[in-house]
Amino acid sequence: MVSSLISMACRLNEISTALNKEVGHYRAVAKKYKRAKKVVNWSAAGSGVLSASFSSASFGSTLSVVGLPATIPLGGVGGAFTLASSGLIVASKKLNSKINKHQEIVTLAIAKRNSIYRLLSKALADNQI
């Protein structure tokens, strides 16, 4: 009987250790995704500002006769920054979904670990172990 209690306690300890490792891993991955999302969001904002700047410069150069040759290149650069900003916004949304997935996994692992602790404590209190 004592050896079965010891083996059960060892098994519960292994499960708890595995769940703690899983929680740590997914928290670290979620943290990396959050950093990446922050960089992508700042890049998208910068790209949007540059797009607006180049587009307004293109529009301004069309109003002056002297700047007509610069209109097409400025418009093209503004359009390129618009596409880059749009792509970064899509990437940000994908990163956000990955962050949410990892946070849900962390929550589930913590809940499972807490359930194991609760059941073990109840069994110990009821003298079933």
pLDDT digits (tens, 9 = 90+) for 54-74: 888 888 787 777 777 878 888
Q: What tokens appear for 106 in the block?
A: 């962390």
Alpha carbon distance 41, 111 (integer Å): 32
Give me the helix-helix angle, 68-125 and 2-63, nearest 10°.
160
Alpha carbon distance 128, 1 (integer Å): 12
Q: What is the pLDDT of residue 129?
A: 57
Q: What is the pLDDT of residue 5?
A: 63
The HSE-up count of residue 52 (CA atoms within 13 Å, CB side) is 5
Res. 104 pLDDT band, cuts 50 70 90: very high
Q: In which residue are the tokens 């692992």 written? A: 109
Nearest-CA neighbor of 112 among 22, 10, 6, 25?
A: 22
Q: In which residue are the tokens 């109840």 written? A: 122
